[in-house]
Structure 1
Amino acid sequence: MKIETLKQRLKKERPMKSVTLRIPEDVVEDLKEIAPLLGFSGYQPLIRAYIGQGLRQDLEKLEQNNFLELIDSLKRQGVEEKVINNALAEITATLP
């Protein structure tokens, strides 16, 4: 995930939108029970955390797939593996 996107997502005062979601009653009861044990003020923040966690994992997978497709495309176009490896080393050296 891009750093700027991540910074935006970490802001506490992001705009919110109400949605209606049908969830089985027993699941809601379990969420209400476990939320305070995990340090959440209620079950709705816990649901948001679960959704956010799953979304971040899926976005990371998609970004990784796009990244791997780019590397494969560069190889097919004749870019030497040494050049690709040097570029990857340069990029990863600048990551936090």
Structure 2
Amino acid sequence: MSLPEDYMLPCLNKKLLGFECMGCGIQRGLSLFFQGEFVAAFKMYPAIYTLIPLALLILSTFVFKFKYANKIINALAIASVLIIIISFIIKKTN
């Protein structure tokens, strides 16, 4: 039986330069999230919990119109970027 990790794209930054990028872990985090491993998904990629609602909201705005959608999208995008940067710095310093 093959694992989901067998079908994931490799990080070119890690392969070519030898160190992880800010996106390393997002595929594994999504896989863990959809397997119901919510704590493990957070530990793998903390921004997963802002990126999923952000993606769902962006996709839903193509079908439905929300009054404050742009403000919510902006807030989730800023939160996601901050979480990605902070978790990357923490990962590099540990």
TM (norm. structure 2) is 0.36
Which structure is larger by alpha-carbon Rg, 1 or 2?
A: 1
Higher relative contact order (CA 8 A, sep 6+): 2
